[in-house]
Amino acid sequence: MLDVLRATESDTSETAREIRKSIGALLDAEGEVQQAREVLSTLREDLCLLLGPGHPETREVAEMLHRLDEP
């Protein structure tokens, strides 16, 4: 589905961002922490460029990344 969105909209459309965030959360829930970190790190970089580092959506993803590093 994400590939379809990338082709028709963009990787940074609102829908694509939500799917990317969900993928990161699902990977984390499955214990795939490294893959979750990769997805969420890339998303955070995109959000910083698109919305700025202080935007609530960017901060939410940053918090998700921070939780990945907690024991």
Q: Residue 16 carries which DSSP code? A: H
pLDDT at 9: 62
Is 5:13 a contact under the CB 8 Å cutoff?
Answer: yes
Which residues lie closer than 8 Å to 15 by C-beta, 6 or more apart?
5, 9
Q: What does the alpha-carbon distance between residue 52 and residue 62 come to, in Å, rounded to a whole number?
A: 12
pLDDT score recorded for residue 7: 57
pLDDT of residue 13: 86
pLDDT value of residue 42: 95
Please tell me the distance from the alpha carbon of residue 30 to that of residue 65, in angstroms, as a whole number.
Answer: 15
Task: Identify the sign of the CA torsion 43, 57, 68, 70.
Answer: positive
What confidence score (pLDDT) does residue 29 get? Answer: 97
Task: Name the pTM for this structure.
Answer: 0.85
Q: What is the pLDDT of residue 71?
A: 72
